[in-house]
Amino acid sequence: MTSDEKYRKVAAFIDQARRVVAFSGAGISTESGIPDFRSPGGVWSRYDPQDFLYQNFLASHEARIKYWRMSEEFLGAILQAEPNAAHHALVEIERLGKLDCVITQNVDGLHQRAGTSREKVIELHGTVHTVSCQECGARTSRGEVSERIRGGVAVPYCDLCSGPLKPDTISFGQAMPEQETREALERSRACDLFLVIGSSLVVHPAARMPVEAAMNNAKLVIINLSDTPHDHFTTVLLREPAGKAMQGILSAYRQILAG
């Protein structure tokens, strides 16, 4: 089957669907210029992931210094990035009334910046754009905390209780957010079309979502440049960049709507 034939097939699935769930991973963000943590030249090729265990962050001021240095470096790439064609395609699918939600492993907020409704984005691994105290839970904006760091503060602490501040991203060893994980599972099980966009599906429990959808009779479409452990569940498999594939699918869907 050619790419164009696959685009038309997925477009037909969207047309027939009542609930489309999109699941996005690092592959959608790399097309906006945000490095994949695991890719050559990514963060984990320059830092040891074991240094960033959540338990170490809580226990050691030195670990917090290292964490904030890495986190600010990563934030710089995010702030320079712009939503790409795949993000914008999902916005149009929402506008056309088909998108139930976007479940994302990404922490960059690009779906919201593209125009996807905030209430439709489930951030499984949190967000870089807010910061919380690990003791009292007080939340503040990332911009305010980053300004402190640029002013020479190596580790920011809470103004209310002096507890350590940490970006609202999920670190190694940190529990997944219960509400978001539960909602993502429920949406995955209830959808009739599940689109994986740019995820290698190796990080759990997030990687379980497409399996849950397929086991509950949803059509499963995987758009990813490399193999995933769940390719055998797919109805349509596209080994293409996220932006190219989503634009092709959207173009084919517009043709269906035009009659």
The two tokens of residue 181 are: 């994980």
Q: Which residues of 2-17 are buried (b: 16+ CB within 10 A; e: fewer)?
A: eeeebbbbbbebbeeb
Q: Which residue stretches of the chain are H helix?
A: 3-16, 26-30, 54-59, 61-80, 85-95, 110-114, 142-150, 178-190, 209-215, 242-258
The answer to whether the beta carbons of residues 37 and 44 sit under 8 Å apart is: yes
- Answer whether 196's CB lies under 8 Å from 224's CB: yes
Q: Are 251 and 40 in contact (CB under 8 A)?
A: no
Tokens 């910046």 belong to residue: 113
- Tracing tokens 């990404």 back to the chain, one arrives at 106
Compute CA 251 distance to the chain's CA centroid, rounded to the nearest angstrom. Answer: 24
Name the active-site residue from 87, 125, 129, 230: 125
Q: What is the full DSSP assignment across 7-64?
A: HHHHHHHHHH-S-EEEEE-HHHHHTTTPPPTTSTTSGGGTS-GGGG-HHHHHH-HHHH
- Clarify whether 125 is annotated catalytic: yes
Q: Which residues are marked as active site?
A: 125
